[in-house]
């Protein structure tokens, strides 16, 4: 049991350290125009890199995930908001899994 608790503790530590270290160290506002722009674009970069190709393996069926991706893109393009886009994609994948790609 103690080995298990140790594993949980180590996992928590290496998850928290990357989260807290930069925000605790960088107390001053960065002046460099490039670096400020870099940080401004970071969320878009991270979101893009996390979404694709990861989304293709998000469900148990590759083609179902692909359909979910397309539905999410269409709904997001029409600015439907977080919940609608997510629910629409889930529903599309579910329909695929139930009736199309079995």
Partner 1 sequence: MVNHRFLIARKNEISDFNRGIKQGIPIALGYIPVSFTFGLMAVNGGIPVWIAILISLTNLTSAGQFAGAGLIIANASLFEITLTTFVINIRYMLMSLSLSQKITQMPLFKKSMMAFGITDETFAVASLEKGEVSFAYMMGLIACPYWGWALGTVLGAVTTSVLSEKLQSSMGVALYAMFIALFVPASKKSKAALVVVVVAIFWSSVFKWAPYLNQTSSGWSIIIAAIIAATTGGILFPRKEDEF
55 lies in the site for partner 1, by CB under 8 A: yes
Cβ–Cβ under 8 Å, residues 96 and 61 = yes
How far apart are the C-alpha atoms of 44 and 88, rounded to whole Å?
22
As measured in angstroms, the least distance from the Cβ of 1 to partner 1 is 8
> How many helices (H) does the chain have, and how many strands (E)?
4, 0
Q: Report the site for partner 1 in 24-43 (rule: CB under 8 A).
A: 24-27, 29-30, 33-43
14 lies in the site for partner 1, by CB under 8 A: yes
Determine the size of the site formed for partner 1 (CB under 8 A): 80
Q: Helix 62-77 vs helix 82-95: angle between axes, to the nearest 10 degrees?
A: 150
Peptide bond into 53 cis (omega under 30): yes
Among 2, 18, 63, 100, binds partner 1 (CB under 8 A): 18
Q: Report the site for partner 1 in 63-92 (rule: CB under 8 A).
A: 64-65, 68-69, 71-73, 75-77, 79-83, 85-91
100 lies in the site for partner 1, by CB under 8 A: no
6 lies in the site for partner 1, by CB under 8 A: yes
Candidates 82, 80, 83, 54; CA nearest to 66 is 54
């Amino acid at each position: 049991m103690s080995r298990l608790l140790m594993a949980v503790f180590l996992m928590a530590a290496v998850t928290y350290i990357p989260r807290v270290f930069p925000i605790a160290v960088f107390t001053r506002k960065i002046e460099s125009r490039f670096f400020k722009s870099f940080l401004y674009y970071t969320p878009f970069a991270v979101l893009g890199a996390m979404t694709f190709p990861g989304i293709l393996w998000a469900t148990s069926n590759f083609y179902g995930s692909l359909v979910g991706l397309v539905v999410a893109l269409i709904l997001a393009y029409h600015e439907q908001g977080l919940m609608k886009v997510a629910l629409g994609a889930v529903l599309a994948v579910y329909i695929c899994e139930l009736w199309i790609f079995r």
